[in-house]
């Protein structure tokens, strides 16, 4: 197949930003109450430039007005006090005078109101930490861990406290919860006191190091993310570190991170990277401390700038980093994991094939599986005219030739955890499975363009299944959406990420502005934004929707539609879906792996739906022990069903558990067998 040359300028422009990009927002640090942070003239000038660029170039074409001013105010307060543990309702009433004037102030470069709010936040932060340090000295004799008090852990439902006295009670309960967590981690009282004093002292020190540049970036990112969560201002220091953020996937542990409130949250894992291979870390986990080596001291990272956390996690190949995390599946406890640093090997990031043979009924099926971790291309070689440049499409084309030689009955394209990559490759790869036609529509503020597969040849004409999950994003969604719209194959798995926007990086003085400039639409006219691609056959949802995917980001652009473009779809697969769904539902009733997954998901959901935590130590311990026993029981039911000996505990060394991806892939083998049988019976051809 000849890769399409049309719209090369658009393709090159979009390449960098079709990756799953998440906002990297710095958490505010500060300095002593006696100091006041004030803006510099250069910040006022930069502010005016940023506002002008946002109004001129952002996809939505928004103008700053009173409504936008209110959004910016709320976003700014949330960035400073996300858990509503610093500002009282009285404070909010006082600073609400600024809520509808940011639009006028920003256009003039007047940053005084924003800095006044920050200084209030700063003084309350210092007060809180000093109070917590005073409690650390006497907690052993002053705190009762047998009462039935609770603390709200869902920040969305916690109200602002009415009085300063209410804040002190909240802070005391916060410390109590911290101590309970450490006790459940089997730490001795003297060690707890020592650790807490060090943690809160270090946080005070970080507050003292905040300067006016930090405040400017925090506030300006409250402004930019009010347009959409992928629009962000990079100050000079962060601008220099931008490549580090973007290349974190290639060295260290292979994880994409972002700030969420005071925590560093794992957004996604790079397929085949160290974290992914370890099976110890997953999207939604929150990193609260980082240590070097297998037994290095853990350094508290709550409230740390994300670039500082990144520097702690990154390190030389073959060294270990320890992470203390709040697991996404178990939000009321912490655990410490150790991951060996490495570089993601390029050959492991390329498309890989596998052939499996399964028996279903009286028939045997040979199935080819193509795993695509990302959409890659050697753009330098491509633009030089080098015919042997490396790319996803060329590698998959070669694999398809091999699979045809092996006489496979069907092909599964596995796009799980594929966060995107080159738009050109998404377009060209789709062309391997279609005769010709448009693949994706790209809408800017002023026009709609389309990328086409112009080559009428088709490399593979047999049954096709595309497997996606919540971490399949951007270019993956374009491919899956096109296959779905053309009725070229069946999409199975879970709803995809929903990253359907394009970002452009604009130099702005000494910094940079990353802003959303376009949006993707399928040939059917449906956006991939926010909603993602909905599979034809849905598997159990492993990742918690509330904490992962585009829809979990504040202010994410919504799903919408544009006019359907002209394309020649294959015969509708609607008659096939019902038959396959019926067979799938009957099969999973008795499939040990799917039964195990459903129980595991239900158990996790029970933990994650709680809005409060008990401050009774015995009750917390009892709840964790109950969860662990249920988890062990589920694990052993699954092992017995597979003919394996049960575990004594979940910590048994040398036990390799089958993860959810393997279980779902096994199920997909049978879905493919059903698809082959049903489409052959009904006379489908492609």
* Cα Rg of the chain, angstroms: 26
Per the structure block, which two tokens stand in for 618? 């015995």
Residue-wise pLDDT tens digits, 426-448: 999 999 999 999 999 999 999 99
What is the separation of C-alpha 106 from the centre of its chain, rounded to a whole number of angstroms?
A: 31
Residue 296 has pLDDT above 50, yes or no: yes
Hey, which residues are catalytic here? 474, 485, 499
The 8-class DSSP code of residue 299 comes to E
The band of 236, judged by pLDDT with boundaries at 50, 70 and 90, is confident
At residue 331, the pLDDT reads 65
154 has a pLDDT exceeding 70 = yes
Q: Which residue has the higher pLDDT, 76 or 264?
A: 76
Domains in the chain, CATH or no CATH each = 1-18+347-502+517-686 (3.90.226.10), 28-224 (no CATH), 236-343 (2.30.42.10)
Sign (positive/negative) of CA torsion 129, 134, 138, 142?
Answer: negative
**DSSP bridge partners of 412:** 369, 465
What is the per-residue pLDDT for 23?
36
What are the tokens at 166? 């209410």
- Residue 263 has a pLDDT of 81
Q: Is pLDDT at 675 greater than 70 in this prediction?
A: yes
**Residue 2: per-residue pLDDT:** 43
pLDDT of residue 426: 96
**Residue 197 pLDDT exceeds 60:** yes
Between strands 448-453 and 263-269, the pairing is unpaired
Q: What is the pLDDT of residues 319-367, one digit of tens each?
A: 999 999 988 777 667 889 999 998 766 667 789 999 999 999 899 999 9
- Look at residues 516, 371, 375 and name the one whose alpha carbon lies nearest to residue 443: 516
pLDDT tens sequence across 615-661: 999 999 999 899 889 999 999 999 999 999 998 887 765 455 568 89
pTM of the shown model: 0.86
By the 8 A CB rule, do 341 and 277 touch?
no
Beta carbons of 195 and 158 less than 8 angstroms apart: no
For the residues of 305-362, what is the DSSP string, one character each? -HHHHHHHH---TT-EEEEEEE-TT-TT--EEEEEE-EEPPHHHHS-EEEEEEEEETT
Question: How do 612-614 and 150-152 pair as beta strands?
Answer: antiparallel
In sequence order, the 6+-apart residues with CB closer than 8 A to the CB of 350 are: 373, 376, 390, 392, 395
Number of helices (H) and strands (E) in the chain: give both, helices first.
23, 21
Does residue 175 surpass a pLDDT of 70? yes
Cα of 596 vs its chain's centroid, Å: 25
Per-residue pLDDT of 441-467, as tens digits, reads 999 999 999 999 998 899 999 999 999
Average pLDDT, the chain: 88
Residue 26 pLDDT greater than 60, yes or no: no
Q: What is the pLDDT of residue 510?
A: 79
Q: What average pLDDT does the segment 542-547 reach?
A: 83
pLDDT tens digits for range 67-79: 999 999 999 999 9
For residue 544, is it left (φ>0), alpha (ψ between -120 and 50) or beta?
Answer: beta
Task: Give the range among 297-311, 508-522, 573-587, 641-655 with minimum mean pLDDT.
Answer: 641-655
What pLDDT score was predicted for residue 310? 86
Q: Is the pLDDT of residue 245 over 80?
A: no
Q: Is 47 within 8 Å of 103 (Cβ atoms)? A: no
Residue 5 pLDDT > 70: no
In terms of pLDDT, which residue wins out, 489 or 383?
489
How confident is the model over 203-230, as pLDDT tens digits? Answer: 998 888 889 999 999 999 999 999 999 9
Quote the pLDDT of residue 581.
Answer: 95
Task: For 595-642, give the DSSP string.
Answer: HHHHHHHHHHHHHHT--EEE--HHHHHHHHHHHHHHHHHHHHHHHHHT
Calculate the alpha carbon distances from 293 to 82, 318, 341, 651 in Å: 32, 10, 10, 21
Between residues 2 and 329, the one the model is more confident about? 329
Residue 246 has pLDDT above 70, yes or no: no
| 464-468 and 410-414 beta bridge pairing | parallel
Which position has the token pair 């972002």? 258
Residue 135 has pLDDT above 80, yes or no: yes
| The pLDDT of residue 14 is above 60 | no
The span from the CA of 189 to the CA of 140, in Å, is 8
What is the SS3 assignment for 269?
strand
Record the tokens describing residue 37, joined without a space. Answer: 């942070």
Tell me what pLDDT residue 30 has.
36
Mark out the alpha helices in 58-163 (DSSP H runs): 66-80, 89-95, 102-108, 112-136, 139-142
The model's confidence at residue 270, banded by pLDDT at 50, 70 and 90, is confident
Residue 244 pLDDT exceeds 50: no
Reported as half-sphere exposure (CB side, CA atoms, 13 A), residue 414 has a value of 23
For residue 459, the 8-state DSSP code is: S
Least confident of 248-252, 368-372, 623-627: 248-252
Asked whether residue 103 carries a pLDDT value surpassing 50, the answer given is: yes
Residue 233, Cα to own-chain centre: how many angstroms? 20
Q: At what angle do helices 164-184 and 617-641 cross, to 10 degrees?
A: 40
Predicted local distance difference test score (pLDDT) of residue 32: 45
Q: What is the pLDDT of residue 617?
A: 96
Q: How far apart are the first and last CA of the chain?
A: 17
Q: Look at residue 15 and tell me whether its pLDDT is greater than 60.
A: no
**Residue 140 pLDDT class (50, 70, 90 cuts):** very high
Least confident of 291-295, 647-651, 667-671: 647-651
Q: What is the mean pLDDT of residues 98-123?
A: 96
> Band of the pLDDT at 277, cuts 50, 70, 90?
confident
Reply yes or no on whether the pLDDT at 7 is more than 60: no
User: How far is 607 from 132, CA to CA, in rounded Å?
Assistant: 28
What is the pLDDT averaged over residues 367-372? 98
The string of DSSP codes covering 381-448 is: HHHHT-TT--BHHHHHHHHHHHHHHTT-SEEEEE-TT---B-HHHHHHHHHTTSSSEEEEEEE-SS-E
What is the C-alpha separation between 341 and 441, in angstroms, rounded? 40
């Amino acid at each position: 197949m000849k890769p399409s040359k049309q719209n090369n300028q658009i393709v090159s422009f979009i390449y960098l930003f079709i990756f799953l990009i998440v906002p990297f927002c710095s958490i505010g640090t500060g300095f002593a109450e006696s100091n006041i942070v004030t803006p510099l003239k250069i910040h006022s000038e930069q502010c005016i430039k940023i506002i002008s660029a946002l109004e001129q170039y952002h996809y939505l074409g928004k103008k700053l007005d009173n409504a936008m001013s209110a959004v910016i105010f709320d976003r700014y307060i949330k960035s400073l006090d996300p858990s509503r543990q610093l500002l009282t309702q009285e404070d909010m009433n006082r600073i609400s005078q600024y809520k509808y004037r940011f639009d006028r102030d920003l256009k003039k470069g007047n940053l005084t109101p924003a800095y006044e709010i920050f200084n209030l936040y700063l003084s309350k932060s210092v007060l809180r930490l000093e109070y917590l340090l005073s409690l650390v000295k006497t907690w052993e004799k002053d705190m009762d861990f047998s009462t039935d008090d609770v603390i709200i852990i869902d920040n969305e439902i916690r109200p602002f406290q009415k009085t300063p006295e209410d804040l002190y009670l909240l802070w005391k309960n916060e410390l109590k919860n911290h101590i309970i967590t450490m006790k459940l981690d089997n730490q001795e009282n003297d060690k707890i006191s020592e650790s807490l004093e060090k943690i809160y002292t270090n946080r005070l020190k970080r507050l003292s190091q905040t300067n006016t540049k930090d405040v400017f970036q925090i506030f300006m990112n409250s402004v930019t993310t009010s347009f959409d969560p992928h629009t962000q201002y990079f100050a000079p220091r962060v601008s220099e570190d931008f490549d580090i953020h973007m290349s974190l996937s290639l060295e260290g542990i292979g994880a994409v991170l972002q700030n969420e409130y005071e925590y560093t949250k794992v957004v996604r894992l790079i397929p085949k990277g160290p974290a992914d291979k370890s099976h110890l870390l997953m999207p939604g986990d929150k990193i609260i401390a980082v240590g070097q080596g297998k037994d290095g001291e853990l350094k508290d990272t709550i409230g740390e700038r994300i670039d500082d956390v990144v520097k702690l996690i990154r390190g030389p190949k073959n060294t270990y980093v320890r992470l203390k995390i709040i697991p996404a599946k178990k939000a009321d406890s912490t655990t410490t994991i150790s991951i060996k640093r490495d570089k993601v090997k390029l050959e492991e990031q390329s498309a890989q094939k596998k052939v499996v043979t399964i028996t279903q009924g009286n028939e045997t099926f040979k199935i080819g599986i193509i795993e695509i971790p990302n959409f890659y291309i050697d753009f330098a070689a491509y633009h030089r005219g080098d015919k042997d440049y490396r790319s996803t499409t060329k590698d998959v084309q070669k694999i398809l030739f091999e699979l045809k030689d092996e006489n496979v009955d069907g092909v599964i394209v596995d796009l799980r955890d594929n966060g995107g990559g080159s738009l050109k490759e998404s377009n060209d790869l789709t062309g391997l499975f279609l005769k010709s036609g448009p693949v994706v529509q790209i809408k800017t503020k002023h026009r709609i363009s389309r990328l086409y597969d112009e080559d009428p040849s088709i490399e593979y004409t047999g049954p096709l299944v595309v497997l996606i999950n919540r971490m399949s994003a951007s270019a993956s969604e374009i491919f899956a959406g096109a296959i779905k719209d053309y009725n070229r194959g069946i999409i199975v798995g879970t709803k995809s990420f929903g990253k359907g926007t394009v970002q452009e990086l604009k130099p702005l003085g000494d910094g940079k502005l990353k802003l959303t400039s376009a949006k993707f639409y399928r040939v059917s006219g449906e956006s991939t934004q926010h909603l993602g691609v909905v599979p034809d056959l849905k598997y159990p949802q492993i990742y918690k929707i509330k904490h992962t995917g585009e829809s979990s980001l504040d202010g994410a652009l919504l799903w919408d539609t544009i006019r359907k473009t002209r394309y020649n779809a294959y015969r509708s697969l609607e008659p096939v879906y019902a038959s396959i769904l019926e067979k799938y539902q009957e099969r999973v009733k008795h499939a040990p792996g799917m039964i195990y997954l459903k129980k595991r998901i239900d158990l996790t959901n029970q933990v994650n739906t709680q809005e409060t935590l008990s401050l009774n130590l015995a009750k917390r311990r009892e709840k964790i022990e109950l969860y662990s026993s249920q988890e062990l029981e589920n694990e052993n039911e699954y092992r017995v069903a597979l003919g394996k000996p049960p575990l004594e505990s979940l910590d048994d060394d040398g036990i390799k558990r089958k993860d959810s991806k393997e279980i779902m892939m096994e199920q997909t083998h049978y879905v493919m067998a059903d698809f082959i049988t049903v489409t052959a019976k009904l006379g489908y051809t492609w």
